[in-house]
Every structure is written in C-alpha cells, then in structure tokens.
Structure 1
Amino acid sequence: MSRGLLLRGKSFYREVKRVLKPKGIIAIWCYGLLEIPHASDSLNVALQEFYDQIESCWPPERQLIDTQYQTISFPFSDIPTPNYSMTHDWTVKQLIGYFTTWSATQKYIKIHGEDNLLTLMTEISNKWSLTTQIMTINWPLFLRVGQNVII
C-alpha cells in the first residue's frame, strides 16, 4: 500500500474514532468484478481476457477492492457479515457500455488505442448467445463492518 494511502487511512480512522459513539458501528463496502452465473465457459473466458488486458491500467488502490478490504488496517472489532450481491439484467450492449465507463478501460485506450480492445469486445459480443438476449449480471459485495471499542 502506498505511503500516501496509508496516511489518508490513518487520518480517516482518526476522524471516524472522533465522531463515532462508543460501541458505534462502521461499515465500508465495495463491489467486486462482475460475474455472469449462467454464461457459457467461452463467454466467461472472453470476459476474463478483457479484464486481464486492462488490469495494469487500474490505479494501485484497486488492489484494496481485489482483496475485499481485508488487507487494510481496521482499528475496530470486526463483525462477521453474510455474503451479499447485487444483480441486474443486461444485454451485451449494456455490458460493453458499462466496461467503457471503467477508468482502466479509458486509460488503456489512451495508451494502446481502441483496436485491441475492440477485438476483445467483439469477442464478448460473439460469445453472447444473441445480442438482444438479456442475462443476469452479478456483482459480489464485500463488507468490512466493525464496532468502535473504547479501551
């Protein structure tokens, strides 16, 4: 973790401890990489290839999401949480539109141009059964919940 991020984290927790009541609860959350539970293996491979292609273009802080916030210091008493997810039904056009909003996708385009990325997006479209078909997209939600314990 970068020194700047670590210092911001300490400042954040200092402020949380200042305003949080004794035994108060803090919850931080993020959502992980999407999954398409009923997709074909070939579609899942194409999705993974897309993510792998742009992975180096994510900012370093993305690692906090990939590790589900489990690698950050957390000066609170951890409270276990159940698994959660959010879902949405999309066409392939909506999915690709979503991919283009990612900062890593935009950075990749600036560095490498669109051609290679368009090839990957075309491959995803070709693996989708029908371009008008709607599929359920799932994003796992990760929570880190803790209680302010006064010592």
Structure 2
Amino acid sequence: MTRNWFEQGGGNYAAHRPDYPAELGAELARIAPRRGTAVDVGCGTGQLTGLLAEHFTHVIGVDPGEDQLAHAAPVRGVDYAHGTAEDLPVADGRADLVTAAQAAHWFDLPAFYTQARRIAAPGAVLALISYGVVEVEPGLRERFERFYWREIGPFWPPERRLVETGYRDIDFPFPQVPVAALFIRRSWPLDAFLDYLGTWSAVRNAAESGHDDVLRHYAADLTEAWGEPSRPRDVVWPITVRAGRLDGESR
C-alpha cells in the first residue's frame, strides 16, 4: 500500500461508512465452490467480514491497520488478523473465497495475487468489491458533483480512479465469474451524510494540506439545499464485483 489512509480513525470508519447489503454476502457464497473458509483482505472494521460469517463456517479478516481491527465488531466464526495483502497470515490452500472490499486499489496487486493463489483451495474464487461514487437526490446532485469532481477531486489519491471506473481498468488475470448487479441504499439525515464524507481519504488529505475550507464551503451549501437537517435523503452506491477463479488464468 502506498499509504494506509485508514491507519487512524477506525471508530469513525465503523460508524459512518455504509454497510453492505445482505444480498452481497449471499451472492459471494453462491459463487464460491464451498462454504468452508473465506478470507476478507483489507477488512477494515469488518463491514463485509460479518456478512460472510452468515454463509461460511470460518472467516478470517486481515488488515494492516491496528486501529481498524480494534473497532471491528466481534462476530461468531470470525477471526481478525493483523497483516498485509502482500503477506497474508493465512495457511496455504485454506480459502474457498478471497475478498477485498473497497481495498484492492491500495494493494500491490501482483504480490496480492500471488498470496491469493497460495491460500486458495481448489476452485476458490477471488472477488474484488467496490462501491462507486455516491448518487444523491436530483436537488442535491449538481452541487455534489461540483464538489466531488472539481473541489475535492484534486485531493483524491490516484488509486481512487480505479474505484470511479468500477475496477474496469484494474489488472485481473482470472477467468471471470458473473455476479448480479447490487446496490447500497440508505436514507440519511444531513449529519449522517456529512459524517460519511468525513471518512473520505480526500477530505483528510485536504485538511492535512491546509484546505479544510473546501469541505466547510460545501457543507454550508449542502445545509442550505438540504432543508430540515433531520429530513432523510436517499443516497445510493452502485456495487461492482470483479470475480474470478484463482486456479485459472484468463486469455
């Protein structure tokens, strides 16, 4: 990883990032050859890890951020381990499913893929999951898009581009496994949406470089457009899954 953006602030990340829908866990279990062991790499505070535990006998969540792991909720059947995608603390041939949710764009992919192949059981599936740019209601959309693409945009790490394109351009040398289209849907008041923005690496990068006024100006405009702050507004994230068999190479 060029930088662990989530080394600090695990509590905020756990509280303010959207959870994945139950359908994602079910879909990942469907494409796995067995429901023995799943390994969730870059698990953070366990947003996906817990969902996998509903379908697999054993789930291992791996993350390099000790603060993230400290805020991961304990779940029956889940073990958390401190480690990196490039040096996974998992035994050879163990995993029926390897996942990386909103994390693969930070990895040294060749090294990660080597590790994923090492820990894979026969027929194991690798799934790289991302959720794209949040979609807001029409009355909020124009100002949000200006904030996202023009104002906070220069502060995103370059790896963010892979998320914006739904991992379409990420190196993925495995035979593809089709996955159903899924979405994260929430209805949030103003404070919840602003708290979510505060977890963005671009927002932290802007603040660290003395440009926290970018978020303040947007927050003021958003507050005016939102109306009653407690009024729930619909927010949607499209989920992308690049899935493939680890015991084959695409041609």
TM-score w.r.t. the length of structure 2 is: 0.52
Number of the residue aligned with 1:32: 132
Q: Secondary structure of 2:123's match?
A: coil
Identify the range of structure 1 (5-14 vs 98-107) with the bigger mean alpha-carbon deviation: 5-14
Number of the residue aligned with 1:44: 141
Query: Cα deviation per residue 1:21-46 (whole Å; 9 max; x = unaligned)?
Result: 3322111101111112xx234x1011
- Structure 1: any 5+ residue segments left out of the alignment? none
TM-score w.r.t. the length of structure 1 is: 0.84
Identify the range of structure 1 (126-135 vs 111-120) with the bigger mean alpha-carbon deviation: 111-120
Query: Cα deviation per residue 1:54-86 (whole Å; 9 max; x = unaligned)?
Result: 111111111121121121221210112221111
Rate the CA distance shift 1:20–1:71 in 2: closer, same or farther, 3 A: same
1:64 aligned onto 2:162:
yes
> How much does 1:7 deviate?
8.8
Number of the residue aligned with 2:53: none
Of residues 109, 127, 130, the one that matches 2:207 is 109
CA distance in 2, matches of 1:147, 1:117: 42
- Structure 2: any 5+ residue segments left out of the alignment? 3-104
Q: What are the equivalent positions in structure 2 for 1:1-151 lying under 5 Å apart?
A: 8-36=108-136, 39-41=137-139, 43-52=140-149, 53-150=151-248
CA distance in 1, matches of 2:154, 2:206: 9
Query: Cα deviation per residue 1:65-123 (whole Å; 9 max; x = unaligned)?
Result: 11211212212101122211112221012111211221211211233433343122111
- Equivalent residue letter for 1:16: A
CA distance in 1, matches of 2:204, 2:108: 26
Bigger RCO (CA 8 Å, 6+ sep): 1
CA distance in 1, matches of 2:154, 2:218: 16
Q: Secondary structure of 2:122's match?
A: coil
Identity of counterpart residues, as a percentage?
26
Q: Secondary structure of 1:77's match?
A: coil
Rate the CA distance shift 1:113–1:80 in 2: closer, same or farther, 3 A: same
Number of the residue aligned with 2:33: none
> How much does 1:47 deviate?
0.9
Rate the CA distance shift 1:91–1:6 in 2: closer, same or farther, 3 A: closer
Rate the CA distance shift 1:73–1:128 in 2: closer, same or farther, 3 A: same
- Equivalent residue letter for 1:63: R
| CA RMSD, Structure 1 to Structure 2 (Å) | 2.3
Structure with greater proportional helix content: 1
